[in-house]
Amino acid sequence: MPDAPFPIPHTPHPTPNTPHPPPHTPHPTPHTPHPTPHTPHPTPHTPHPTPHTPHPTRKTMAKLTFFIVDVFAAAAGKYTGNQLAVFTTGSSQLSDGEMQRIAKEMNYSETTFVLSSHLREGGYDVRIFTPEQELPFAGHPTLGTAYIIQREIVKEPIASINLNLKVGQIPLALKNQEGLGEIWWMQQKPPTFHKILSPREVAAALNLDEEAIDIRFPIQEVSTGIPFIIVPLKTRADLQRAKIDRDRYFQLIRDTEAKCILIFCPEPYQPDSNLGVRMFADALGIPEDPATGSANGCLAGYLVEHSYFGQEAIAVRVDQGYEIGRPSLLLLNAEKQGSQIAISVGGKVEMVARGEFL
């Protein structure tokens, strides 16, 4: 066996002499480019139409000009009274929802929109919104809007003007009053008198003892377009202590037409005034209002109806807003005329600012 060589060294493995085909058969991919690189995607060469198609609202809606005024301003002038935003140019193109959203954005007690610079049936069409809802009527928005219409639309001295509101047409007059200067007066609808409420329930809603209520006079719902619960208190200390208990308040107004409460007392802040007043309207998104012309119109009717001052004609000055740092002065005139009561509410208006909504 040593002379017989092992056969494997003399029989080479066929693999080394048979090259593997891949090195001599290139993969076709490198020589067949993928069509994608040579066929650009159409998107880069077809711009999206949105940038070149303006939003229809922006295209058609004019700029929105607005003014801020202080209504029922106290003797100190600007930065007193009740703030109001008045929109003029462009208001007629707004939808109801847009007006409501703008009022929420401004977040004043009310915001108004003058719908036309031209008279319609002798008056100017105006709409009034709180941050939460539209109102058929409100006092300080009526005065402040008349002031803006006279200054920015009519642009000449006038003695009177009419506003067309949801509640109907409201006449206003501009008069000079000694010691106060120019006063805007609005004539309100004759008051109507409704439900009489329990002192116990109302005192609880105000976080007051029942003894704070002046029971010589009723707690009553009164309306000159918007109803208010009118509550007579005994002293200014009672007026200052009042604080809405929201649970009891909302429970109280479930059974009343009126959703707002005006409380008053015969102890004002200023020596020339006759009454101190506060007004709460949580149901309208207004915890407390600095100056409320509609509520004070109801108060004026109430004072005559129940002979609070022992007279059938009154001319009184009301202090409101002191508890929330916005002192205000409201002038109330009311007189019994047959079966109705004629009511006018007046106050000063101060211009504060002008701007545009973009």
Q: Annotated active-site positions, please?
A: 110
DSSP letter at 93 equals G
CA distance 193 to 217: 13
Residue of 245, 247, 207, 242 whose CA lies nearest to 323: 242
| Contacts of residue 286, Cβ cutoff 8 Å, sequence gap at least 6 | 109, 130, 131, 280
Other CB atoms within 10 A of residue 192 CB: 15
d(Cα 335, Cα 342) in Å, to the nearest integer? Answer: 5
Q: Phi then psi for 97, rounded to 5 degrees?
A: -65, -40
Q: Specify which residues 72 forms β-bridges with.
A: none
Cβ atoms within 10 Å of 22's Cβ, excluding its own = 8
Phi/psi of residue 234, nearest 5 degrees: -85, -45
Token pair recorded at residue 136: 């058929």
Q: Find how far residue 245's CA is from the centre of its chain.
A: 23
Pick the closest to residue 183 from 353, 329, 327, 343 (CA basis). Answer: 329
Report the C-alpha gap between 294 and 296 in whole angstroms: 5
As given in the structure block, the two tokens for residue 44 are 């880069």
Q: In the beta sheet, which residues pair with residue 123? A: 120
CA-to-CA distance for 160 and 153, rounded, in angstroms? Answer: 14
Contact between 100 and 111 under an 8 Å Cβ cutoff? The reply is no
